[in-house]
Every structure is written in C-alpha cells, then in structure tokens.
Amino acid sequence: MTALVFIATFVPHIPIPLGYAHLGDAVIFLLALLVPRRPAIIAACLGSALADLLGGFALWAVPTIVIKYGMAEIVYRIAPQGRAMGQGRIVTALLLSSLWMAFAYTLVGAVLYDGLIAALTSTPGLIVEGIVNSVIALLLLPMLRGRMPRI
C-alpha cells in the first residue's frame, strides 16, 4: 500500500508553485475507504513522505506526514468502514479531506516561505488536485469494493 501511494505521488509529478500535484491522494482516499485504518494511515503518511524525500522536497516531508494523516482521518471519521452509507457522505468526506489538504499545505507554505502571498500561489493547484483525486477515487471505488484482501 505504501508503494502504491508512493508511485501515484512520485510518477505523475505535475509542477505547481511551491511543489507538485499528483494522483497519490486518490490512492489515500481509496485506502481510507477500503482497508483498516492503521495500515491505510501508515501507507498514506510513509508513501507521501517518501515521495517528498526522493522528489527533492525533503523540507515538506514532516508536514506531509501530518497532512496526509489528517486527510485519511477525515475520511475515516465521516465515511467509516462497515456502515452502509450513501454516495453523498463519501463525496463529503473526500471534499473535506481535500480542503484540509489545500488549507494545510497553504498554511505550511506560508510558514516555510515566510509569507502568505507566496503560499497562496499554490492554493488553486492544490484545490484542483483535491478535486481530481476525489473524482478518480469515486470512479475507482465501485470496481475495488469487495475485492480488497483482508489485512
């Protein structure tokens, strides 16, 4: 699972101001919706941080661990596994998680680069990244439901 998060984060490396956009969050969303909490959160944090470390963004590795933990936790809290729930609750979980990601990376960028204006240049890209990853996860979820091995 960590490798899946890493590859989806590292390979489609799309530059945006102060960082890069990727498809790793779709994998994180799917893990949070399909597998037990602990292994999904560990994979989300480690896979994403490893992509930062190996991709030249080591400064972001620790904030990434905190942000990805928060993303997975939001999905678990709003759309917990084992409960029958409508698509609306899942969409809400993914969108709130994406908003957290955009807000948190913008805030960390403001601290790391000593200015909110510089950090805000990445916010539109982060919002688009969150929406794209949410849509991908929603499209793949029906195909993967019931096919994940027990952990």
First CA to last CA distance, the chain? 11
**Is residue 134, in this structure, part of any structural domain at all?**
yes
Per-residue pLDDT tens over the stretch 66-77: 999 999 999 999
> Is the separation of the CB atoms in 104 and 70 below 8 Å?
yes
| Range(s) of the domain holding residue 91 | 1-146
Q: What is the CATH number of the domain that holds 21?
A: 1.10.1760.20
- Number of domains, the chain: 1
What predicted TM-score, i.e. pTM, was given to this entire model? 0.93
Query: For residue 25, which of 62, 64, 57 has the smallest C-alpha distance?
Result: 64
pLDDT-derived band at 150, boundaries 50, 70, 90? low
Q: 102-128: b or e for each residue (b if 16 or more CB lie within 10 Å)?
A: bebbbebbbeebeeeeebeebbebbbe
Rounded distance between C-alpha atoms, residue 127 and residue 97, angstroms? 11
